[in-house]
Structure 1
């Protein structure tokens, strides 16, 4: 495969997203309600209401990719607000509070009608409350519950036996909360929730997850990595933000079929693959070229990021009650990524399945479980290098120094 040839699925997804966002801006200018939702909130509610929404962290990735995160975060500081706390979640708020310039990414995010976030800590609640106190945008919080017991193989249970994996009480809590929140969202947006439509959305998103599972397993089993991870990320995540639509399900199928054809042809990103690497953490949006920095010099390729793996293991939920299944999709969402033993056992499972030689672990300042992740991987015999920085704050890392550090670490794997 040509080292700079982009996956068709990635190019199609990026083009679709630009066209979709342009249409969304036009609708917002006409007065159509718009929701801003955190990544771990149940977006499907808004889709079942016919209300367009933007995912908070996706918009942060756009700001960061445009190298504008520092400017907006400094605008927070100018208003007496912290610019170094959960930047990945704070960037859309920072842009909304900053003076609007002609160079705003993609024309800028329209002011939303409502914002929704699961409150996993005091910082999150206070941050999203600022949308209401500073900008007059109603904030609808969802609570976050913890589990008393955790199954060791939750990824095998989540699709059908999620009551066992998560716990009935925990699912009950979010299910009841969603039942109470829906009427409030209807009042705020003027839209009507359609339970039948939610059933269709859940069926399509489950089908999408199954295609993602096939793609993940195919990449894990391929003799050599056939696709660059910085193409897999947009090809997977942009359709994820459109979960439950025919386009997103078709995009997931197209990605699988494209990867299948590359594997069948024997294509590889690195002709002489010497090191298979795993990236744990959020995407490094302001330096996506980082993931391909070591292919020619070290024969090292990133074969894994959490985005495809989560799309494969964390979203599918089957059940007779679509709203309850949706609650089950999100009430343990962060646990799967960040809370041991949920997260660490999954990371070890994925590292072994993908036959990785080492892990680059991005540890964000708000991480509370980095030690457990690194410890579990190293105990399993998998070398780890930790990088401590915020993934969306371009002030957080010196790209040259980062590349040098990781290059030295890759070379140390040979000793």
Structure 2
């Protein structure tokens, strides 16, 4: 069903398909190609004109086309586990796919460079397999930690990021980015231009400022003008192209479209009775799930991390663009997964959006999920946990999950939402 999807989402999807078609052609001509993690500094590649594919974006495409099972089977056939890190390992399985006719969008072109952070032993082992493949080099980035976490870090990040993250962490990431630049210049023959880099960083700040305005529009609107599933392409496809004028302009078009919906009184669920928050990665193989509770219960998902982290997690201003970029990623994982960074932010966002309940996706590789749930419950917000994978359908029983959520809505969410709902 696409009748209510924003025009910006349809345009972004069209752009992505055309971009991927060109990417195939460029890879076929022997150009270097990078595979990068979603929370890795893609801006370096943008500056140097090195095309890249985002690891988790490709996994979402495979899942949306219902092909993750086939890819996990390829991992098993080659002696690798298929029950852990599926979101990151799907792209690795693409190496073993010799049937491009069956692969989504013609398959993943073979990269020459893989960039990812070492967030744990298992993810590091996935990348080490990449590194053992002929013609492919893995460049690892370290992730440091900080004992002290400032309250309301999201208010500090645009300008006072060094205070929020800590000088030592920014120093480490800056040094690693300098090493990455030297590595890319040496291996590709391309040159890193600081002038071009400053342009990229400025465009990204503009893009994320538009995302921040859009987030605030959605947070204030009653009833909601936008389902989270309908808005994800509008925000995330431009995120994978950040640092380009197209991405900046796409974020502005998305904002303007949401503003028009708000001003016209558009409601995706006119009988909105409860506002829900989805914490976790997108359920890519069942995006219709997000509208499952509207007709019978008037419960609509108004929040996911994708627009919210674009608003709070990316904007960085400063005279030294490389340190600003380091500050964008030195604590990126913390913002989403490490308490109290993550748990305090989720509570803030829940209150900002006036949600009445939270559906929390818990995966095997999730970090900090327990503390997020407890922080929300202490704030008086009902939470239901779903234990499943976001791309592996073998652990997903949609009917059973739907029944559990419906029972939870009727018993815990809707009575309180009705009690607190302002009269119309």
Considering the TM-score relative to the shorter chain, is it more than 0.5?
yes
State how far apart, in whole Å, the 2-side matches of 1:98 and 1:82 are: 16
Conservation of the 8 A alpha-carbon contact between 1:208 and 1:248: yes
Conservation of the 8 A alpha-carbon contact between 2:364 and 2:389: yes
How many residue pairs are counted as aligned between the two chains? 414
Task: State the Cα deviation string for residues 44-69 of structure 1 (Å, max 9, x = none).
Answer: 00011110101000001001101000
Task: State the Cα deviation string for residues 247-274 of structure 1 (Å, max 9, x = none).
Answer: 0000000011000000000111111100
Q: Tell me which residue corresponds to 1:63.
A: 62
Look up the SS of the partner of 1:97 in the other structure: coil
Look up the SS of the partner of 1:395 in the other structure: helix
Q: Tell me which residue corresponds to 1:75.
A: 74
Shift of 1:414: 3.4
Let me know the Cα RMSD of the aligned residues: 1.2
State how far apart, in whole Å, the 1-side matches of 2:96 and 2:397 are: 27
State how far apart, in whole Å, the 2-side matches of 1:235 and 1:325 are: 25
State how far apart, in whole Å, the 1-side matches of 2:302 and 2:213 are: 15
Q: Tell me which residue corresponds to 1:216.
A: 215
Q: TM-score, normalised by structure 2?
A: 0.96
Shift of 1:310: 0.2
Conservation of the 8 A alpha-carbon contact between 1:76 and 1:98: no
Structure 1 residue runs of 5 or longer lacking an equivalent are: none
Q: Tell me which residue corresponds to 2:119.
A: 120
Q: Tell me which residue corresponds to 1:370.
A: 369
Q: TM-score, normalised by structure 1?
A: 0.98
State how far apart, in whole Å, the 2-side matches of 1:368 and 1:219 are: 28
State how far apart, in whole Å, the 2-side matches of 1:251 and 1:57 are: 21
Shift of 1:143: 0.5
Conservation of the 8 A alpha-carbon contact between 1:39 and 1:57: yes
Task: State the Cα deviation string for residues 330-363 of structure 1 (Å, max 9, x = none).
Answer: 0100000000000000000000010001000001
Look up the SS of the partner of 2:275 in the other structure: strand
Q: Tell me which residue corresponds to 1:278.
A: 277
Structure 2 residue runs of 5 or longer lacking an equivalent are: 416-424
Shift of 1:327: 0.5
State how far apart, in whole Å, the 1-side matches of 2:275 and 2:345 are: 18
State how far apart, in whole Å, the 2-side matches of 1:80 and 1:98 are: 15
Look up the SS of the partner of 1:387 in the other structure: strand
Once the two structures are overlaid, the 10-residue window that deviates more, 181-190 or 152-161, is 181-190
For residues 67-216 of structure 1, the aligned pairs below 5 Å read 67-216=66-215
For residues 186-335 of structure 1, the aligned pairs below 5 Å read 186-335=185-334
Task: State the Cα deviation string for residues 23-80 of structure 1 (Å, max 9, x = none).
Answer: 1111111111110000111000001111010100000100110100011111111222
State how far apart, in whole Å, the 2-side matches of 1:322 and 1:197 are: 11
For residues 389-404 of structure 1, the aligned pairs below 5 Å read 389-404=388-403
Shift of 1:99: 3.3
Shift of 1:3: 8.1
State how far apart, in whole Å, the 2-side matches of 1:321 and 1:368 are: 32
Note closer, same or farther for the CA distance 1:135–1:403 as it changes in structure 2 (3 Å cut): farther
Shift of 1:100: 2.8
